């Protein structure tokens, strides 16, 4: 199991020095996928030819004495809502089944320019709408730690690919917690950058004011390297931050001595499982032992985050998904006229959860209800931002659980509201655009991974990695390590 042995940093170092070829690194990754992905189902599509061409290119550069880049020969998986030229990009939806974009997302281009090998596209909740990766039109992904459990969502395939040891790095997107929550449930590192720090060009939009691309990794250092590679200004993304982004890798080793860290009261109470709460308190103690001052802090408006999010995100989704009309690209179901064709296409192409959110969003934006719903949600969003700003006037970082619970069984949360509640801890940072990092920290009473979430103000991304490394070093168990043995039986 490749990344139980080598991290991304170690792999790249060996390939750049000539101790290992990129072809060999790719073969190890592909062998792990072949051996185990029939059970885990992390991947929707494999891009073997593309990866092989890139591996040959990297090895040729090394042979010529050139440096292929900081991710030389590192296999990486891409969530299947990011465009990959000539390879299927489906968003796990029948609507885009078989569609092959004519261009790469900026993050994909940057990874390959740094020497990475794109081995495949990972499963997700359809159009990134979900918290369990059960809403995929092509079947669920399973948690590598226990195949009867979900990996979280919506980026469950990307989280599972790292946790299972298929790749040392993967990319996900985070609209309301879709990187951090599956990272917590799968026992890996997951990072949502400051909004605008990573280009969204080539990311198929769900909610444009909330979406952000970020990495999954088995170590904090690997995640920092990946973020430094994909981050930075992109003129093709109008929301891209024009100023330089502080290096995350450069902050590693800085520790937390002298830092003030606040545990958010409102995210430690009702709805948080006792074993998860205990791990957060243990993590807080570890930060205090490392020299930080850790205290409780109240951010009252966080309790409204879930309600505000489920008005704003569906409203933006209803607008973004209007383009799938059976005319321009994607699935088309014929009808006797344009109206019937459009309705038939969308009925057949979208799954239940996507339809539910489109209807919620359309209603919230409709005449007579806009101010009462969407407008009010945006005012709540501003209130949350103001309260976070007030908290950061006294604290350098904040912390909370990442997920209210450990991984739950497949099918256990069949009603939408119970799934929506899975994101109660992660949504606030999306609403305000702040960075947040989930780091594995011990296990729950069921022996499954628990994630602790660290939050920072805008462009405080590098500070999160310094603190995250402290938690990683203090992790009370190695049970969350990537590549751990699968338990549980596959259920149909």
Between CA 384 and CA 390 the distance in angstroms is: 10
Number of folded domains that form the chain: 1
Query: Would you write out the chain's pLDDT as a tens digit for each of its 492 residues?
Result: 333 479 999 999 999 999 999 999 999 999 999 999 999 999 999 999 999 999 999 999 999 999 999 999 999 999 999 999 999 999 999 999 999 999 999 999 999 999 999 999 999 999 999 999 999 999 999 999 999 999 999 999 999 999 999 999 999 999 999 999 999 999 999 999 999 999 999 999 999 999 999 999 999 999 999 999 999 999 999 999 999 999 999 999 999 999 999 999 999 999 999 999 999 999 999 999 999 999 999 999 999 999 999 999 999 999 999 999 988 888 999 999 999 999 999 999 999 999 999 999 999 999 899 999 999 999 999 999 999 999 999 999 999 999 999 999 999 998 899 999 999 999 999 999 999 999 999 999 999 999 999 999 999 999 999 999 999 999 997 544 444 444 444 333
Eight-state DSSP code of residue 390: H
244 CB burial (10 A radius; 0-12, 13-18, 19+): exposed
Phi and psi torsions of 438, nearest 5°: -105, 130
pLDDT of res. 438: 98
Residue found by looking up tokens 């109008």 in the block: 238
Residue 329, CA distances (Å) to 7, 95, 304, 347 in order: 39, 9, 38, 16
**H helices within 64-200, ranges in order?**
106-113, 156-163, 180-186
Give the tokens for residue 478.
């190695």
CA-CA distance, 309 to 11, in Å (whole number)? Answer: 39
β-partners of residue 264 are 297
Residues near 65 by Cβ (< 8 Å), separated by ≥ 6?
Answer: none
Cα–Cα distance between 10 and 168 in angstroms, integer?
10
In the block, which residue shows the tokens 């995929």? 136
Contact 446/148 with Cβ under 8 angstroms?
Answer: no
Please report the pLDDT score of residue 478 as a whole number: 52
Q: Please indicate, yes or no, if residue 392 is contained in any of the structural domains.
A: no
Residue 313 lies in a domain: no
CA dihedral 313, 315, 319, 320 (to 10 degrees): 10
- The residues that are catalytic are 79, 154, 178
H/E element, 117: strand 117-122
pLDDT of residue 3: 38
Domain-located, residue 452: no
> What CATH number has the domain bearing residue 101?
3.90.1300.10
Residues in the chain: 492
| 188 neighbors 217 (Cβ within 8 angstroms) | yes
Q: How far apart are CA 160 and CA 201, in angstroms?
A: 25
Residue 187: the pLDDT is 98
Whether residue 44 is contained in a domain is answered as yes
Distance linking the first and last C-alpha atoms of the chain: 25
Contact (CB, 8 A) for 281 and 379? no
SS3 114: coil
Sheet holding 260-264, edge to edge: 43-46, 117-122, 75-79, 169-173, 213-217, 189-192, 436-443, 449-455, 397-401, 260-264, 293-297
Per-residue confidence (pLDDT) for residue 257, from 0 to 100: 98
* Burial tier of 376 (Cβ tally within 10 Å: 0-12, 13-18, 19+): middle
**Structural domain boundaries, residue 25:** 2-254+436-447+461-474
pLDDT of 5 reads: 72
3-state secondary structure of 343: helix
Inside any domain, residue 45: yes
Please report whether residue 189 resides in a domain: yes
Is it true that the peptide bond before 70 is cis, omega within 30 degrees of 0? Answer: no
360 domain residue, yes or no: no
Can you spell out the DSSP letters for 211-228? --EEEEESSHHHHHHHHH
**Cα distances (Å, whole numbers) of residue 396 to 126, 246, 282, 391, 401:** 36, 16, 19, 9, 18
SS3 assignment, position 453? strand
Residue 377 included in any domain: no
């Amino acid at each position: 199991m490749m990344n139980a042995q080598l991290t991304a940093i170690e792999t790249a170092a060996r390939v750049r020095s000539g101790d290992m070829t990129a072809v060999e690194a790719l073969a190890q990754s592909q062998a792990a996928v072949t051996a185990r992905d029939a059970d885990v189902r992390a991947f929707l599509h494999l891009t073997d030819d593309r990866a092989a061409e890139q591996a040959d290119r990297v090895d040729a550069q090394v042979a010529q004495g050139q440096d292929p880049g900081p991710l030389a020969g590192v296999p990486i998986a891409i969530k299947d809502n990011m465009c990959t030229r000539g390879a299927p990009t489906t968003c796990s939806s029948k609507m885009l089944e078989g569609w092959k974009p004519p261009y790469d997302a900026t993050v994909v281009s940057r990874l390959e320019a740094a020497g990475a090998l794109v081995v495949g596209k990972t499963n997700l909740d359809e159009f990134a709408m979900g918290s369990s990766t059960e809403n995929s039109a092509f079947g669920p992904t399973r948690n590598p730690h226990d195949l009867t459990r979900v990996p979280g969502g919506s980026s469950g395939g990307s989280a599972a690919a790292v946790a299972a040891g298929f790749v040392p790095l993967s990319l996900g997107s985070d609209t309301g917690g879709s990187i951090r929550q599956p990272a917590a449930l799968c026992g890996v590192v997951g990072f949502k950058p400051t909004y605008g720090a990573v280009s969204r060009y080539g990311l198929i939009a769900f909610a444009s004011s909330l979406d952000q691309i970020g990495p999954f990794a088995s170590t904090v250092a690997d995640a920092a390297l990946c973020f430094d590679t994909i981050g930075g200004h992109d003129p093709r993304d109008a929301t891209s931050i024009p100023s330089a982004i502080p290096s995350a890798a450069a902050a590693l080793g800085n520790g937390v001595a002298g830092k003030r860290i606040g545990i958010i009261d409102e995210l430690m109470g009702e709805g948080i499982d006792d074993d998860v709460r205990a791990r957060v308190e243990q993590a807080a103690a570890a930060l205090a032992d490392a020299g930080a001052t850790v205290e409780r802090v109240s951010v009252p408006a966080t309790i409204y985050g879930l309600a505000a999010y489920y008005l704003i995100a569906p409203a933006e989704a209803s607008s973004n998904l209007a383009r799938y009309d059976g005319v321009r690209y994607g699935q088309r179901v014929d009808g006797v006229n344009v109206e019937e064709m459009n309705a038939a296409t969308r009925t057949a192409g979208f799954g239940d959860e996507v339809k539910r959110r489109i209807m919620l969003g359309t209603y919230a934006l409709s005449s007579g209800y806009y101010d009462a719903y969407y407008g009010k949600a945006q005012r709540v969003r501003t209130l949350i931002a103001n309260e976070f700003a007030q908290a950061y006037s006294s604290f350098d970082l904040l912390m909370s659980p990442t997920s209210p619970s450990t991984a739950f069984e497949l099918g256990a949360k069949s009603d939408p509201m119970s799934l929506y509640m899975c994101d109660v801890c992660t949504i606030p940072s999306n609403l305000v655009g702040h960075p947040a990092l989930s780091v594995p920290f011990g296990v729950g009473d069921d022996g499954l991974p628990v994630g602790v979430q660290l939050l920072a103000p805008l462009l405080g991304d590098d500070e999160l990695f310094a603190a995250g490394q402290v938690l990683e070093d203090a992790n009370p168990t190695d049970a969350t390590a990537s590549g751990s043995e699968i338990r549980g039986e596959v259920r149909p």
